[in-house]
Amino acid sequence: MANKLLLGPILGLESNTLYTIIFVTDSKMTTPEVNSPTGTTLAVKIGEMGAGTVWRAELNTPLGNARDITYSIKSNGQSVNDARGESQWSFYVPAEHEPPKIGYASCNGFSDYKLMASTDNPYRLWDEMAEQHQEAPFSLLLMGGDQVYADSIWSTVPTLKAWNEGSRKQKIKYTPSKRMIDQLERFYVDLYLDRWNKPAMAKMLSSIPSIMMWDDHDIIDGWGSFPADIQRCDVYKAIFTSAKKLFSLLQVRGDLNKTLLCDQAHSTHFSSFVKFRHFNILTLDNRSERSITEVMCHDHWKDVLTALDTQCTDGDLLILSAVPVVYRDFSFAESALDATPWEEELTDDLKDHWRAKEHEGERLKLIMRLLDNANRRQGKTVMLSGDVHLGGLGIIRDERGGSTNSIHQVISSGIVHPAPTYIQWLGILAVTNDEMEYLDETRLVTANMIKPHGSNKYIRNRNFVTLLEGSDSKLWINWICEGKDKPSYPLQ
């Protein structure tokens, strides 16, 4: 009888030739091995989650012709099956000079139970991705945040529910019990096991190598945008510690990850950089250090800028920023809220945006450094974001020096989470604007939202994105949506 995985396998990518496989077994399983055309590799234990052991294996695939790599897992000579009963999986390796087909998705869950219950076929777009993968395989899947939604933590963790009923003063002074800490870790373990074992998603995670970065719902809604006394209290620290453990094991794939910008033993962030064919992929961790006043600390910025200056010197650049850098302006709503007694209740919703007044300086720093890099590199620059439960397209234009250089912002959200209702969207429109933004005193650097071909400016349907360079050397962005619209946009 075959052994069975608790979760996985989950494919990762860490260089042009290095692929990783993460999977979770019960704690009794002896060291498994991964078999593939490249040979047999012993898995390495990288951690534990609940009663399960998390394993990591590495596959080195030399550059060459396009091919499918089939792999399997064995323990004590017996085959190991996944939750779907599969014992063999395969992924596509593009040829050395082949433009890779890349997918991008975010917001893989629901912010409340009622929303989930009222959504027909929640994982429909994962099935759509599987169909597209069958027709023309993806080489890489980028996931830009909210790979799980932890919103139910407040109602399903008994000790946390009781804590949340206390006064603010009691909450801040409370020291988490061992029972609370155990319940928190159990919650995140169960969350990943439930969500990532959904057949449609599990099939893709085992068939397409992925690179992931978290956003707030992977921790709790609004993480990093709360008032300082709550953000720094011991219970919130315990929540973050539990969320971080599961994130680092399953999304980052452990401390052995070769793409991380700094040594995890001394790091407070998970930003990463990898080259894949002609793409540079910079993944920004905008949650680990986030506060109302700061998104990334000084040392974190130094790591990011060093990667841009020393590693990102040619080819195209994809930047994962979970929260859109170019989006609607919430300053009116923010100013109005500052003058009301409800400021602290609603502050995380507004302070979470890059355009919040406290983050404007860091946002401008990021934009200007990306423009500097684009001018030196002379390749396409595309920011990939999610978070807002809409699809959209933004552009930053730099006309200094007599020529135009552009950075595009692609928003894809969510692959599972529904878009705002019509009434909710009217409310957003009423308190925001998307007028042209001037980013320097010469008015030669601008940012604004633009309309994709084949849809409205804002795509108010569930969606994911495909990126593929065409024979015309343009990078084609296609939003795969529910509904009849087929938005697309070619980047020069």
**One-character DSSP codes across 305-346:** HHHHHHT--SSEEEEE-SS-SS--B-HHHHHHHHTSTTHHHH
Output the pLDDT for position 336. 55
Q: What pLDDT digit, counting tens, does each position of 238-294 carry? A: 999 999 999 999 999 999 999 999 877 778 999 999 999 999 999 999 999 999 999
Average pLDDT over residues 316-341: 79
Q: What does the pLDDT look like over 402-435, one tens digit per residue? A: 888 999 999 999 999 999 999 999 988 988 899 9
Average pLDDT over residues 135-150: 98
Least confident of 207-221, 253-267, 304-318, 478-492: 253-267
Q: What is the structure's pLDDT at 339?
A: 46
Condensed to tens digits (0 to 9), the pLDDT of residues 449-489 reads: 999 999 999 999 999 999 999 989 899 999 999 988 999 99
Domain with CATH 2.60.40.10 in the chain: 1-97
- 8 A C-beta contact, residue 250 and residue 54: yes
**Band of pLDDT at residue 347, cut at 50, 70 and 90:** low
Which residue intervals of the chain bear CATH 3.30.750.180? 99-139+199-209+250-491
Q: Which CATH superfamily is domain 99-139+199-209+250-491 in?
A: GpdQ, beta-strand dimerisation domain (3.30.750.180)
pLDDT digits (tens, 9 = 90+) for 224-251: 999 999 999 999 999 999 999 999 999 9
> Do residues 171 and 160 lie in contact, with contact meaning Cβ atoms separated by under 8 Å?
no
User: Which of the four pLDDT bands, split at 50, 70 and 90, describes residue 349?
Assistant: low
Owner of token pair 């078999």: 35
Model pLDDT, residue 346: 45
For residue 91, the model assigns a pLDDT of 98
Give the type of residue at 3: N
Pick the CATH number of 1-97 from 3.30.470.20, 3.40.50.300, 2.60.40.10, 2.40.110.10: 2.60.40.10
- Asked whether residue 199 carries a pLDDT value surpassing 70, the answer given is yes
| Mean pLDDT, residues 75-91 taken together | 94
**pTM score:** 0.95
